[in-house]
Amino acid sequence: MSDLSISQLTAQTTMANTDLIAVAISGGNRKITYANFASPFAELAGTNTFANPVTVATPTAPGHATTKEYVDVGQFNADGLFSNLLVVPSVTAGNLTVTLNVLNGTIGASNPFFGYIGNTLISSTTTMTLTASAGTNWLNLGNAHFRDPSNNPYNVDIFVYLCFNTVSNLSQIIMSRIPYASSFGDFVNSQTDNYGRILTGSAPAAADLVRVVGRFSIRMNAALSFIAPPSFLTVVGRITESNFSFWTPVVTGEFTATFDGSGGRSGNYKIIGNMLSYTINAFGNVGVANTASLAATMPFATSAGDFGGGASVSSGAGNRAGVFDLTGASATTTVRDPITAFNTGFRGFRMSNFYRLLK
């Protein structure tokens, strides 16, 4: 048949697998067999048999009919990537709830969300929810340094995880402020720690795998009630970095020295994987002469070990290079002038750096 001209072919012409097809490509014409040409399109034509078919209803738009596709989930085993998943945070009466649903909001047996955690297929035909009630300092979000000097709370990012709990044999939602956990044991065993986790029900085993499926922003006031931000800035997917966020460092002088912060205290930070980059500015009046150092609170404690770097300090001897230390899983940074102590008067520092989070 390949010897026939195009004008001789009809819609009813049947091709044999050994028939040749001319293909025009760069460098000259080539020819391939019909069998080689057709095989990539066999699945699209519905002629291949899928090993593990799952029926998935596609989202319905106004004026469009709902259609269904057969998807072989075994062919899309991307660990931690979920299909047809929607992450929905909400706040009611100071309580935070995160809901996992499907894209068109109508979840069911023919319209689940699904994906893999490790080698385990997670599929849900009903919504999943997790609620953190007002009145608890969840993940240390109620700390004063997550509010501005006028006591208005800043946005703080929360990462949403899914876990297959081998203790209860159920999938489970977890919320945390860190994006890099890969197993349940990577969280601090606390619901109020910066590195902790929020969950209900039986705790998973330490080795149980967890995967980030989304991120959103939230606020908590001084009364430990959640406040919905103007936008939750929700992102769905295996995301491992935060937005740029803010904190107001609480700055104190060594021993009994006072620091009033009258010149302003501000900090911003961003998490990328298990690294935190940050900038701090803090200026005010030091109340005790010969204060060796000033200490500022950090959004997370450091990992074990010593971290240091340069800072611009104003200690009373002009603006010059200073140094700072983050020592041994500390939640504060200590800043000093290596030549002289901070004198009384208007003093302060500014610096930018990064450090490794606990792992």
Whether residue 212 is found in the same domain as residue 84: yes
pTM of the model: 0.78
Number of domains observed in the structure of the chain:
3
pLDDT at 257 (0 to 100): 82
pLDDT at 17 (0 to 100): 73
pLDDT at 196 (0 to 100): 96
State which of 243, 263, 278 marks the end of a domain.
243
In a domain, residue 49? The reply is no
Whether residue 158 is found in the same domain as residue 289: no
pLDDT at 256 (0 to 100): 74
Whether residue 192 is found in the same domain as residue 100: yes
Helix/strand/coil (H/E/C) assignment for every residue in the chain: CCCCCHHHCCCCCCCCCCCEEEEEECCEEEEEEHHHHHHHHCCCCCCCCCCCEEEEECCCCCCCCCCEEEEEHHHHCCECCEECEEEEEEEECCEEEEEEEECCCCCECCECEEEEECCEEEEECCCEEEEECCCCCHHHCCCHHHECCCCCECCEEEEEEEEEECCCCEEEEEEECCCCCCEHHHCCCCCCCCCCCECCCCCCCCCCEEEEEEEEEEEECCCCCEECCCCCCCEECCCCECCCEEECCCEEECCCCCECCCCEEEEEEEEECCEEEEEEEEEEEECCCCECCEEEECCCCCCCCEEEEEEEEECCCCEEEEEEEEECCCCEEEEECCCCCECCEEEEEEEEEEEECCC
Whether residue 89 is found in the same domain as residue 230: yes
pLDDT at 140 (0 to 100): 96
In a domain, residue 68? The reply is no
CATH of the domain at 262: 2.60.40
Whether residue 15 is found in the same domain as residue 151: no
In a domain, residue 63? The reply is no
pLDDT at 303 (0 to 100): 74
Segments of the chain scoring below 70 in pLDDT: 1-15, 21-77, 304-306, 328, 359
In a domain, residue 71? The reply is no
In a domain, residue 202? The reply is yes
Whether residue 236 is found in the same domain as residue 267: no
pLDDT at 178 (0 to 100): 97
Whether residue 236 is found in the same domain as residue 253: no
pLDDT at 40 (0 to 100): 43
- Which domain covers residue 91, as residue numbers? 77-243
In a domain, residue 52? The reply is no
Whether residue 236 is found in the same domain as residue 260: no
